[in-house]
A and B are shown apart, each in its own frame.
Chain A
Amino acid sequence: MRLQLSDEDVAFREEMREFFTTKVSKEIRDTVAARHELTKEQIVEAQQALNAGGIAVPNWPVEWGGKDWTPLQRHIWHEEMQLANVPIPLAFNAGMVGPVIAAFGSQELKERFLPKTANLDIWWSQGFSEPDSGSDLASLRTTAVKEGDEYVVNGQKTWTTLGQYGDWIFNLVRTDPEAKKQAGISFLLIDMTTPGVTVRPIELIDGGFEVNEVFFDNVRVPAENLVGEENKGWDYAKFLLGNERVGVAPVGATKRSLSAAKDYAKTAGPGGTSLLDDPLYASQIADLENELLALELTALRVVAHSTDGKPHPASSVLKLRGTELQQAVTELYVDMGGPASLASGAGPESDLADWNKVSTPYYLNFRKASIYGGSNEIQRTIIAGTILGLRG
Chain B
Amino acid sequence: MDFTLDAEQVALRDAVRGLLGKSYESSETRRAVTKQDPGWDEKTWAQLAEMGALGLPFAEADGGMGAGPVEVSIVAEEIGRVIAPEPYVEAVVLAGGLIAAAGTDEQRAEILGALSEGTLVPVFAHNEPGQRYSEAGAGVTATKSGDAWTLTGVKEPVIGGARADLLIVSAAVDGGTGLFLVKPDAEGLTRDGYATFEGGRAARIGLNATPATPLGEAGDQSGVIAKVIAEAQIAYGHESLGAMQSALEQTTEYLKTRKQFGVPLSTFQALTFRAADMYVELELARSVVTWATLVLLDGGDAQEAASRAKLQVSKAGRHIGKEAIQLHGGIGMTAEYSVGHFTSRLTAIDHTLGDGRHHLALLVERLDDHGVIEPLP
- A contact set with B: CB distance below 8 Å: 129, 132-136, 139, 158-159, 202-207, 211, 268-272, 278, 280-281, 331, 334-335, 337-347, 349-352, 360-361, 363-364, 367-368, 370-372, 375-377, 380-381, 392
Contacts and interface: CB of A to CB of B under 8 A. Distances in A.
Interface residues of B, number: 51
User: Which of B157, B270, B341, B343 has most chain A Cβ within 10 Å?
Assistant: B157
Interface string B175-199: 0000000000000000010111100
A204 B325 CA distance: 12
A352 B325 CA distance: 29
Interface in B289-339: 318, 322, 325-326, 329-330, 332-336
Given A205-B343, A346-B194, A134 B260 contact: yes
Contacts of A129: 330
27 contacts: A134-B329, A136-B262, A202-B334, A205-B335, A270-B131, A270-B132, A270-B134, A280-B360, A335-B351, A335-B355, A335-B357, A337-B351, A342-B159, A343-B196, A344-B195, A344-B196, A345-B197, A346-B192, A346-B194, A347-B192, A349-B192, A351-B130, A364-B344, A371-B330, A372-B330, A375-B326, A377-B271
Given A335-B357, A341-B351, A392-B268, 8 more contacts: A205-B333, A271-B134, A339-B127, A342-B202, A360-B348, A363-B347, A367-B322, A370-B326
Contacts of A158: 330
B71 interface: no
B157 A135 contact: no
A360 B347 contact: yes
A377 B133 contact: no
Contacts of A331: 318
Contact of B344 (A205, A340, A347, A392): A205
A345 B157 CA distance: 11
B62 interface: no
Contacts of A351: 129-130, 154, 156, 204
Interface in B233-260: 259-260
A360 B335 CA distance: 15
Contacts of B333: 204-205, 211, 367-368, 371
A134 B330 contact: yes
B197 A360 contact: yes
B85 interface: no
A159 B328 CA distance: 14
A272 B130 contact: yes
Nearest to A337: B351
A136 B330 contact: no
B340 interface: yes
Nearest to B131: A270
Nearest to B348: A342
Contacts of A278: 361
Contacts of A204: 333-335, 340
A362 to B, nearest CB: 10
A370 B274 CA distance: 15
A252 B377 CA distance: 53
Nearest to B328: A371
Contacts of B270: 377, 380-381, 392
Interface in B120-175: 127, 129-134, 154, 156-157, 159
B177 to A, nearest CB: 14
Contact of A342 (B322, B330, B351, B357): B351
Given A205-B340, A205-B344, A342 B157 contact: yes
Contacts of A207: 197, 335
Contacts of A363: 347
Contacts of B325: 205, 367, 371
Interface in B191-248: 192, 194-197, 200, 202, 204
Contacts of A133: 260
B352 interface: yes
Contacts of A381: 270
Contact of B326 (A270, A271, A342, A367): A367
B3 interface: no
A56 B320 CA distance: 41
A364 B197 contact: yes
Nearest to B274: A377
A280 B132 CA distance: 15
Contacts of B260: 133-136, 139
A153 B162 CA distance: 51
Nearest to B263: A136
